[in-house]
Structure 1
Amino acid sequence: MKKLLRYLLILAFFAPIKMFAQFEAVQDSVVQLYGVVMTADSLRALPSVSVVVKGTHRGTMTNEQGVFSIVVLKGDEVEFTSVGFKPQAIKIPNRIESNQYSVIQLLVTDTAFLPATILRPRPTRAQFERDFVNTRIPDDKYEIARQNTEEAKRRILASGMPTDGREATNQTLRQVSNRTYYAGQTPPMNIMNPFAWNEFIKAWKRGDFKKK
């Protein structure tokens, strides 16, 4: 018992010191990286440049003046990417004395060569009119949304969807209510009910009984 108490006292004494040392080490490795990103040819500020720490999900973007600021660790590799420019990367030195590090990053224009496109007219006006009428134009978002909200398509989608918890509970409660309502007597037959025949005729005209 005395040995255990002695061990606990030693642990309680040295544990805060060890944790404080680890905290100091982590705090010493944190660096505030800030700077500006510009073009290499005209020194023009580049907005909306992605500044990402490689191997992590941490990053930021430059503002309208090309300025950025991000917290990194010593030894991290930071990559700068922007559309139309070659990506560049820098590595934070491990032996910097300050917890702040500033850079001026220059990005070089990345030239992209596209294949040549040759435009040729139709041989005759009749062929142009035929091709123009028969050309299939892809549906836009509004047309796709209209097609998805058609009544026939909604019925097909609804017929294949399983019932959720609320629908299953309501259906079970309705069945229990019907059995309780006609408990001790014979339920009525709807074959002679004119209202039931009216609903049947409407459903038949709508095509509810067709195979889907």
Structure 2
Amino acid sequence: MKKFVLYFLLLSAPFAVHAQFDKLKDSVVELYGVIMTADSLKAIPAVSVVVKGGGRGTLSNDQGVFSLVVLKGDVIEFTSIGYKPITYHVSDTTRGNQISLIQLMTVDAQYLPATIIAARPTREQFERDFVNTKVPDDDIEIARQNNDAAKRRILARNLPASSGEATSTYLRQSAQRYYYTGQTPPQNIFNPLAWADFIQAWKRGDFRNNN
């Protein structure tokens, strides 16, 4: 009995797959048409035509023509800047696999608050405000400020070391550590060269607190 049931299922499987394929094929629809303005019937280019919640879509061309493969029951959304969005529902009872559509869109008017431009009350006030207005620095002025010696020192202290500098520092430290292996390294407090570098840095203001 089990062999008979298994044999029956194997025979019926191709028919079930074929039926599902026919059902899917019948639900696929090619939606095509043109998108125009409702007041002047002019073509609207670059309109976004998207299947709502489906992640599929297209754009209308320069003549407002579009074409999109959808499924029966899908909701199509038309959106474009300056126009009110509109949706189209593909009916489940649609006959055939093609739908032609002329979609009209209405201009979405936006009213901005009024802006009143008035002159300065007096010439003296205009001159005072003009002189006291801070003008942002341009690229040339910013570059000039960055080339200042004090500014370069501040930037150099905060600038991270490059890969070459980091490698060189690591090699020098390793060489010094290996050089004094087995003995106590000398203290720089007794090194006159180190004191000379410290005095020069102090005169330059490297230890000055800028805050």
TM-score surpassing 0.5?
A: yes
What do the CA deviations read for 1:29-79 (whole angstroms, capped 9, x no partner)? 222222211111221111111112222332222121112222222111111
| Cα gap change, 1:187 to 1:124, in 2 (>3 Å) | same
| Cα gap change, 1:109 to 1:209, in 2 (>3 Å) | same
Q: How far apart in 2 are the matches of 1:78 and 1:99?
A: 16
* Structure 2 unmatched ranges of 5 or more: 147-151
AA at the equivalent of 1:121: A
Matches within 5 A, 1:143-162: none
Aligned pair 1:189/2:187, yes or no? yes
Identity %: 47
Q: How far apart in 1 are the matches of 2:192 and 2:48?
A: 72
AA at the equivalent of 2:57: G
Matches within 5 A, 1:86-101: 86-101=84-99
Structure 2 counterpart of 1:126 = 124
| Cα gap change, 1:200 to 1:78, in 2 (>3 Å) | farther
Q: How far apart in 2 are the matches of 1:42 and 1:128?
A: 48
Contact 2:82 2:109 survives alignment (8 Å): yes
Any idea what SS the aligned residue of 1:90 has? strand
| Cα gap change, 1:126 to 1:75, in 2 (>3 Å) | same
Contact 2:201 2:207 survives alignment (8 Å): no
Aligned pair 1:66/2:70, yes or no? no
1:105 Cα deviation from its structure 2 partner: 0.7
TM norm structure 2: 0.67
Matches within 5 A, 1:28-43: 28-43=26-41
Matches within 5 A, 1:169-208: 179-191=177-189, 192=191, 194=193, 197-198=196-197, 201-202=200-201, 205=204, 207=206
CA RMSD across the alignment: 4.3
1:90 Cα deviation from its structure 2 partner: 0.5
Bigger mean CA deviation after superposition, 11-20 or 120-129: 11-20
Bigger mean CA deviation after superposition, 184-193 or 202-211: 202-211
AA at the equivalent of 1:80: F
TM norm structure 1: 0.67
